[in-house]
Structure 1
């Protein structure tokens, strides 16, 4: 499929179909923080000359064909329909008041649905200074358009190097910073088959019959994906995380997932002592492409591409370790447990087997049956975690130097979503939580405490 030369309706991929239903409707919000005030006159040329040519999905709408199946149909794009500039008049002009306006605006657009007669993306320009930047670009994209890998490739394709705009920025690779971006290549024979069968059976039970218990992290509301969301994030030094990584011989992703697990257990303990022993499951996203490094959009659309455009991922079920007195005294065990669980799932056939099951459901019982199963996968777990590797160098967007970058997935059928984004030597960990159910600021504080305890524990380890 060539995304640049489509002139006839093209069927949605199964995953795009699942994520654009009445049961599941998922968006990705990507935030780029500008060092200078936003000049909106430079935005439309960027969208016209750089964004739209990347993929015809950005100029297509979803329609039903004669058989009732959803397809992509290209339309003319009026860019003014897609650029939103909010106005605020009831503020006192302080950074704190604009911070509050920004948080409220993020929650507002997270809830809004796209119009069906327009391509499924928007760019919001928050032209007010906050405590973090002088202005904010907010891209909102429907997950049916593609996954995080596709959207990061898009971002890399529309930005320029801050040091030398005439030079193509270097596409980063996730090889050194995450352990969840490739399908298993080799499995030992008998032991791996037994482990895979056990893991698949456990996943099947979790997805179908055994939801996580209701806890301070999981409300159990069936419509949680359509409820208001609050978003907070934490900025971390990548070098600090790498110190723990090197001490424990794990990945950056292992350290972060371990810190997230420890942080949410501290939060549950603070909210309800009994919940520390509740079974809690995280869905860690696994990129199923054959390569880890990013490639250009043109290469993604090539025939037989190793990293094709679209939604190419599955979920790994990773149990969150319970909080024992021993683990609270040695939080590094959360990191080691995260590494063990993620490696087991990554090297198991349970993930591709779940993909096969979804395809069979789709073919035999129809898209709605597969969508129902996908909904149960998400709703029966307590949270999702996804990790994207961003540019290592400073970039500009429409001639605006970007000082910070992060993303958030909204619309998942869970009370809590965690995202991790790297940019320019820093990490942003974002928490999207069910508004009014989870205290986002207490959760953020618990994560910061968790991370500090892990960093201190790693420093105290003897040198080898």
Structure 2
């Protein structure tokens, strides 16, 4: 069948450059989405629901990657045997949810590092019909990152769900309000232009060095081992109150992303210090992933999937190298300064042209050396950094799938050569932080405890911070 598809070029769609980078011999990245349900799932509904709701969303869910005569990859439609894509594990009978917790954790960790077959569409679902401390049953989506970015794929998954309270109404999301622009005089515009130029030059060359020459120090969150992507991993989660995050945000006059990024940085430094006191001053970098679509926010699933307004389906992402502030450095003396420092660094980097310049550099490298070379470049960038941070906004209302109420959801990335990935998603007033950690190297329980401690410390300090007055 594969040979037949290679010979047939009619109807094939070219794979995007990023899609080819993410499905190469050196790099295969997957998105793992986890839906937790309040009731046991009806397994008999899985295939009809996939046929009716999931496959029609996008042709890529019914396509495989093939190579043309020029060795360029294309999406080719195939007949999908849904039974090959639905997995239902069987666990030993247990009397306690704690035992099922362990079985579920081991199962999730195992399927996260397994490679998806290339001779069928690059996705699968796993129905885990065993009770854990988090849910009565769990549905795991494993999707190849070449299919699209988190924005596209989350929109696809959520389009299969409906509001639990009002099924006839669409799911909606908190909308991001753009900040008001302030008019500047000549001196202000000149200063901004010079800052833009300086930031661009510094960030661009530092990014090149970080991707090719300079490595982060080996620390309790970065092993530096070769082939980390093939080593066992663990996936765990932490929950925070979104209202408390918003309280910190309003007290400090920052954004929600600033708050959670600062807390994660602070929590990781506390963990590093607890494992090895000298590492509190080690050089560490986070790769913070950003959506590059021209969108200020989305309010419904239709908005997420509206290609005309938000840019075509695919991988519209980039990353910024963000140095993780050091404990007790010259600029850091209190926990709150982790948040202000994170805000300062990210805001400065986003106010440069490093993102489009980096994209142009990768395109040039792709044309000269090929997709495999760019994939190797991205692999090196990931392996030289200490962690990856990514986030998505989730629905504000309770969801259900075919009358199965959704209790919670989270996601993570797998297949990369980093020791630590931190993924953040909101749902019904709860901010869920997922930790994908290198097993036997990172103590995920202690790391979770340190991040919780960082949150509580920051919350207490923010409550004592003078409340801003309106003028």
TM-score of the superposed pair, with normalisation by structure 1: 0.93
**Using the alignment, how far apart are the partners of 1:118 and 1:398 within structure 2?**
26
Within 5 Å, which residues of 2 pair with 1:20-59? 20-59=23-62
Shift of 1:156: 2.2
Contact 1:174–1:389 under 8 Å retained in 2: no
Q: Deviations over 1:71-109 (max 9, x none)?
A: 1111111111111110012x4331000111110011010
Shift of 1:171: 4.7
Partner residue in 1 for 2:200: 196
Shift of 1:176: 7.8
Contact 2:170–2:301 under 8 Å retained in 1: no
Contact 2:64–2:120 under 8 Å retained in 1: yes
Shift of 1:226: 2.2
Moved more, 189-198 or 421-430: 189-198
Moved more, 229-238 or 66-75: 66-75
Moved more, 365-374 or 268-277: 365-374
Number of equivalences: 449
Contact 1:300–1:307 under 8 Å retained in 2: no
Contact 1:43–1:398 under 8 Å retained in 2: no
Partner residue in 1 for 2:187: none
1:145 aligns with 2:147: yes
Shift of 1:296: 5.1
**Using the alignment, how far apart are the partners of 2:454 and 2:303 within structure 1?**
42
1:132 aligns with 2:140: no
Contact 1:156–1:171 under 8 Å retained in 2: no
State the SS of the aligned residue for 1:124.
strand
State the SS of the aligned residue for 1:188.
helix
Unaligned runs of 5+ in 2: 1-8, 180-189
1:99 aligns with 2:101: yes
Contact 1:219–1:437 under 8 Å retained in 2: yes
Shift of 1:126: 0.6
TM-score of the superposed pair, with normalisation by structure 2: 0.91
| 1:172 to 1:44, Cα distance in 2 relative to 1, 3 A | farther
1:11 aligns with 2:14: yes
Partner residue in 1 for 2:81: 78
Partner residue in 2 for 1:337: 341
Within 5 Å, which residues of 2 pair with 1:401-412? 401-412=405-416
Q: Deviations over 1:337-369 (max 9, x none)?
A: 111111111111112211110011001221122
Poorly superposed stretches of 4+, deviation over 3 Å: 171-177, 294-302, 325-329
Shift of 1:19: 0.8
Question: Which one of 435, 438, 444 corresponds to residue 448 of structure 2?
Answer: 444
State the SS of the aligned residue for 1:355.
helix
Partner residue in 2 for 1:163: 165
Partner residue in 1 for 2:4: none
Moved more, 212-221 or 313-322: 212-221
1:236 aligns with 2:235: no
**Using the alignment, how far apart are the partners of 2:400 and 2:438 within structure 1?**
33
Moved more, 216-225 or 327-336: 327-336
Question: Which one of 265, 278, 281 corresponds to residue 282 of structure 2?
Answer: 278
Shift of 1:310: 0.5
Moved more, 420-429 or 367-376: 367-376
Q: Deviations over 1:199-232 (max 9, x none)?
A: 1111111111101111111111231122221011
**Using the alignment, how far apart are the partners of 1:244 and 1:299 within structure 2?**
28
Moved more, 15-24 or 322-331: 322-331
Shift of 1:301: 6.6
| 1:296 to 1:460, Cα distance in 2 relative to 1, 3 A | closer
Within 5 Å, which residues of 2 pair with 1:32-431? 32-89=35-92, 91-175=93-177, 188-294=192-298, 300=305, 302=307, 305-324=309-328, 330-431=334-435
State the SS of the aligned residue for 1:292.
coil
**Using the alignment, how far apart are the partners of 2:134 and 2:243 within structure 1?**
21
**Using the alignment, how far apart are the partners of 2:51 and 2:302 within structure 1?**
16
**Using the alignment, how far apart are the partners of 1:175 and 1:259 within structure 2?**
23
